[in-house]
Structure 1
Amino acid sequence: MKKNNKINRRKFVQSATAVAASAAALTSCSTFDSLTRAPSAENNWKIDENDRFDFIVVGSGAGGGPLACGLAKAGYRVLLLEAGGEGTNLISQTPVLHARASEDPLLNWSYFVDRYQDSSVYKSFEKLNSKFQKDNPSVYYPRAAGVGGCTRVNALIHLYPDNEDWNNIGSLTGDASWNAKDMYLRFQKIQTANGGWLTLNQSKELTLGKDQFLIRMAAAAIGVDAWDNTTNFFDKLLKLDVGGLENMINTNPSLKLNPNDQGYVDKKYNGVFNMPFNAVNGIRSGVRELILETRRRLPGNLFVKTDALCTKVLFDPNDKTKAIGVEFIEGAHAYRADVMNKQKASAFMGTPKKAMVKREVILAGGAFNTPQLLMLSGIGAENELQKYNIPMVKNLPGVGLNLQDRYEVTVVSEMNKPISILENCTFAKNNEFDKDPCWQEYLKNPSDHIYGSNGLALSLIRKSSDKQKSPDLCIFGVPGRFTGYYPNYSADTTPKNSNEPSYFTWAILKGHTKNHAGQVKLKSTDPRDTPNINFSYFHDEKNGLTEDLNAVYEGLNVARRINNRIGDGLLKKEIYPGSAISKPNDLKSWIMKEAWGHHASCTSKMGRATDPAAVVDSKFKVHGVQNLRVVDASVYPDIPGLFIMLPTLIVSEKAKDVILADHAGKA
């Protein structure tokens, strides 16, 4: 029987608020925490292999973390396995430092991926990419390990997907419970305003009014479609002041509108928006804080084991399709994507351990690690398993296929002078927090300081063409020089102080991509190895190459139109892609060479049992396997919306409801 140890929701929220206040106190210490990963006191316990947990959840990110907490709060004994550590520091706590957090050795897993299929034409494109690594012939794809997973290092953007994303899953699976109305109710349910755990905030709109460049940039973005290109327009724009911007904001409802409000979600039109982000009192707050608070409140229900790399799912010797536990390596930095792993001998294996389960194993390792773990456990395409002499548990050819991502590019311009509100900011360069004047200002009032936000100036959400049913482009402006991901990219991305050149970036993100041709395949049977990952960019499998490419091209041109309307004197020159690349064919070729992504998903596709490419059903159960589910971003049939974090948190809430219903009344 499960423990009758449910927690009162109101008390839990009050306690979580106290934890947020404690986190604020931590930031008053401006020293930089050590990067060593000493085991926490809570992690010094040993798993008894004779013990059986109700549930084992592998991975503590957006899918697994909230799910494990939800099951524990319902009274079940839950083991949450996390390959990374529990520690934190000021970099990962401070929202504006999210780029640096993604490369912080405390958290960073560095993958190197291929973007094109193996042909001479596409391989030449790969090598021409400005971020191509000669020493490691592929492109950098940073991920995170640690309690909370990638929620610890992402740009904090939480954008609700399209209603059709949910309705399409219902149509594909024949499960009406995936309807958009019910899924939006789940989004409301997880928010702190409704007794949940997720707090989303928005920057104050008139932060833009503190700098003349930001004023003119905002005005140009708001009027990118509405105003004509006349001398009169430019005269008005050049004279615009804070009062004029305030009037423009007040007469432009979308800039005040939260794009997650149901009114916008139901209508989806072009507009300029203020993106919601997850910070409490100016400090990143999310899945990690939920996990730690749940464990504190329910130490007999939620057991968190960090530095535990899961290596395979274990099956009943008398019934090979019945999951009974997992095998894992106990030890820090065991996975070879971990940047600290390179400092260890290649023979380092950690300590092999087992954990057993009474009810279910739930995989939540993400789009790369979940299919890798399934295949290492004998679940995947028969020919792939035979290649590595892995005993087959279930032939599911779709495991690792259907890999999808956004396409992203940027337009970067050098500025004539720094943005005034950032002029004295060093962004704690070289981890010297005490020497950063803006850090001292942030500590005085973190919730209203730019360091307490993700740094986005504003965002445009729009359709790339009238043919699109809903907006498929997000174009957001951010101070700094961001040209994609490469080792040490964050050092170039962070805005510079007044002694160095300053830059402004428009990031163009293409959602609802048509390409489903990417793959994750095993590199070896060594669970410490990363898999082979190929996104097969701009593959024309669904005749979507032209549509995707034209959409990114349109987004790039929108960014350039905004820059052209800002006026002379503020932007010095475009450095990426650069004004010399202007003809349509040249720009499209540049896009194909330079595009990247960071929303990997869809490699354990949800679908009916009759779909040969489907891996899980609408209840997250792995087809043909007992007591095994997948709950993470790999389950989507099609990549949802424009940002993947919030949809995955909602999917986690959905999975919790499904699992609790399935086990209600069972001993």
Structure 2
Amino acid sequence: MRSYFQKLERNMYLPSSIVGHGYSGWLGTSLTSLSLVVEDQKLLSLIVAAASAMGKSLLGFLLNTVAGLGQVLLRDINAPGQTSETGLYQVPLAMTDSIRGGPRDLILDTANAVNSDGSRKYHLDIKLDTLVTKIRFDESGDKPRAVGVDFLEGSSLYRADPPGAFNTPQLLKLSGIGPKAELESFDIPVLVDLPGVGTNMQDRYEATVIGKTTSDFVITSKCTFLETSPDPCLEQYQQGLEPVSKGVYATNGIAIAIVLKSSVAEDEPDLFVSGAPAKFKGYFPGYASDSLADAQHWAWI
């Protein structure tokens, strides 16, 4: 997977001489400015407490400065082999110029790309309100090769993201890839007998521990997260010229990450704990507004 990561990443927080990263891909990665952290003593104290709990000696560190805090958190969690080491990390942001990025940007850039004469560079059409029902294969070669899809179109269709844990095996089975006996029981022509399709489906287990303070976190105390207008933090973000002056809206909200070993871990760490100034209780309709309703909660997730 490392080679794929290097192809997609456009790292903007490390020298290009650092191996294991990509510097010319489509997904921009950056780090939250530590200046935002040191301005909030309550947030800083939580990071210091986490570092102490991890057994890190803090003697000699000026933790109320960017340089001092950087010595505690200066770890590249995406470095080769780094996730096998426990400790405190800064969480990389999938952001370019303080704007969140993702696959959507790559798709739109590809679809809108043009040649020097103004003609379309790639023949990529994007259709909304569609549900893929089957993958079409060219079977003329030694191995089947995907060449297209069948799909239904309509605004009232039930849709689920094909790359998800459930719909990917469903789509493969409908296309003839899966356990032979199961496919034949539904009169689906077998393209590839692959018994593992649809089995061993898992999801990450997530739990949260929430604490409440008696006063606001400075970093989010003025933010209304678009619930009211004007939103002082939105105005700061829009008027700022660089990430530091744009404030907390130029981050993903995660202040720190801790890689740990549970009591049943064998060789590799098996816990990833992130901390954020929010009352995050899980995903449900309206969870974002509920999580950010005040500035006095902290969640270890």
Which aligned pairs between 1:372-387 and structure 2 lie closer than 5 A? 372-387=170-185
- 212, 217, 232: which one aligns with 2:41: 212
- 64, 68, 81: which one aligns with 1:245: 64
Pair 1:467–1:268, CA change in 2 (3 A) = same
Provide the secondary structure at the position in 1 that maps to 2:207.
Answer: strand
Distance 1:453 1:489 in 2: 19
Cα pair 1:424 1:497 within 8 Å, conserved: no
C-alpha deviation, 1:505, in angstroms: 0.4
C-alpha deviation, 1:317, in angstroms: 9.7
**Residues 28-87 of structure 1: CA distance to partner in whole angstroms, max 9, x if unpaired?**
xxxxxxxxxxxxxxxxxxxxxxxxxxxxxxxxxxxxxxxxxxxxxxxxxxxxxxxxxxxx
Which aligned pairs between 1:360-375 and structure 2 lie closer than 5 A? 365-375=163-173
Provide the secondary structure at the position in 1 that maps to 2:165.
Answer: helix
Runs of 4+ in 1 over 6 A off after TM superposition: 316-319
Residue 132 of structure 2 corresponds to 310
Residue 474 of structure 1 corresponds to 272
Cα pair 2:30 2:94 within 8 Å, conserved: yes
Which aligned pairs between 1:405-484 and structure 2 lie closer than 5 A? 405-429=203-227, 432=228, 434-445=229-240, 447-448=243-244, 449-464=247-262, 468-484=266-282
Which aligned pairs between 1:449-528 and structure 2 lie closer than 5 A? 449-464=247-262, 468-493=266-291, 495-497=292-294, 502-507=296-301
Which aligned pairs between 1:277-426 and structure 2 lie closer than 5 A? 277-298=93-114, 299-307=120-128, 308-314=130-136, 325-337=148-160, 365-426=163-224
TM-score, normalised to structure 1's length? 0.38
Provide the secondary structure at the position in 2 that maps to 1:258.
Answer: coil
C-alpha deviation, 1:464, in angstroms: 2.6
Query: What one-letter code is carried by the residue in structure 2 that aligns with 1:385?
Result: L
Cα pair 1:481 1:503 within 8 Å, conserved: yes
**Residues 606-662 of structure 1: CA distance to partner in whole angstroms, max 9, x if unpaired?**
xxxxxxxxxxxxxxxxxxxxxxxxxxxxxxxxxxxxxxxxxxxxxxxxxxxxxxxxx
Distance 2:188 2:63 in 1: 67
Distance 1:332 1:485 in 2: 25
Residue 257 of structure 1 corresponds to 75
Distance 1:217 1:279 in 2: 25
Which aligned pairs between 1:71-110 and structure 2 lie closer than 5 A? none
C-alpha deviation, 1:284, in angstroms: 0.7
C-alpha deviation, 1:396, in angstroms: 2.2
Cα pair 1:219 1:245 within 8 Å, conserved: no
**Residues 380-405 of structure 1: CA distance to partner in whole angstroms, max 9, x if unpaired?**
22343344443444432211112122
Cα pair 1:201 1:279 within 8 Å, conserved: yes
C-alpha deviation, 1:207, in angstroms: 1.8
Query: What one-letter code is carried by the residue in structure 2 that aligns with 1:402?
Result: N
Cα pair 1:479 1:504 within 8 Å, conserved: yes
Pair 1:215–1:316, CA change in 2 (3 A) = closer
Query: What one-letter code is carried by the residue in structure 2 that aligns with 1:408?
Result: E
Q: Which runs of 5+ in 1 are unaligned?
A: 1-165, 167-182, 237-241, 339-363, 508-667
Cα pair 2:133 2:149 within 8 Å, conserved: yes
CA RMSD of aligned residues (A): 3.3
**Residues 533-589 of structure 1: CA distance to partner in whole angstroms, max 9, x if unpaired?**
xxxxxxxxxxxxxxxxxxxxxxxxxxxxxxxxxxxxxxxxxxxxxxxxxxxxxxxxx
- 270, 275, 278: which one aligns with 2:86: 270
Distance 2:108 2:145 in 1: 31
C-alpha deviation, 1:462, in angstroms: 2.4
Cα pair 2:77 2:83 within 8 Å, conserved: no
Distance 2:35 2:239 in 1: 20
Distance 1:400 1:416 in 2: 49
Distance 1:289 1:295 in 2: 10
Q: Which runs of 5+ in 2 are unaligned?
A: 12-22, 115-119
C-alpha deviation, 1:224, in angstroms: 0.6
Which aligned pairs between 1:229-244 and structure 2 lie closer than 5 A? 243-244=62-63
Provide the secondary structure at the position in 2 that maps to 1:371.
Answer: helix
Cα pair 1:457 1:476 within 8 Å, conserved: yes
Higher relative contact order (CA 8 A, sep 6+): 1
Provide the secondary structure at the position in 2 that maps to 1:484.
Answer: coil
**Residues 1-26 of structure 1: CA distance to partner in whole angstroms, max 9, x if unpaired?**
xxxxxxxxxxxxxxxxxxxxxxxxxx
C-alpha deviation, 1:427, in angstroms: 0.3
Pair 1:251–1:329, CA change in 2 (3 A) = closer
Q: Percent identity?
A: 35
Query: What one-letter code is carried by the residue in structure 2 that aligns with 1:304?
Result: D
Query: What one-letter code is carried by the residue in structure 1 that aligns with 2:64?
Result: L
Cα pair 2:113 2:122 within 8 Å, conserved: no
Cα pair 1:280 1:447 within 8 Å, conserved: no
**Residues 234-289 of structure 1: CA distance to partner in whole angstroms, max 9, x if unpaired?**
xx9xxxxx95433752543xx02222234xx3684221111101111211123222
Distance 2:94 2:202 in 1: 25
C-alpha deviation, 1:458, in angstroms: 0.9
Provide the secondary structure at the position in 2 that maps to 1:400.
Answer: coil
Residue 63 of structure 1 corresponds to none
Provide the secondary structure at the position in 2 that maps to 1:192.
Answer: strand
Distance 1:294 1:460 in 2: 36
Provide the secondary structure at the position in 1 that maps to 2:131.
Answer: strand
Pair 1:291–1:387, CA change in 2 (3 A) = same
Pair 1:416–1:259, CA change in 2 (3 A) = same
C-alpha deviation, 1:203, in angstroms: 0.6
Whose helix proportion is higher, 1 or 2? 1
- 462-471 or 219-228: bigger deviation: 462-471
Pair 1:393–1:470, CA change in 2 (3 A) = closer
Which aligned pairs between 1:29-40 and structure 2 lie closer than 5 A? none
Pair 1:436–1:380, CA change in 2 (3 A) = same
Residue 31 of structure 2 corresponds to 202
Query: What one-letter code is carried by the residue in structure 2 that aligns with 1:504?
Result: W
Pair 1:279–1:413, CA change in 2 (3 A) = same
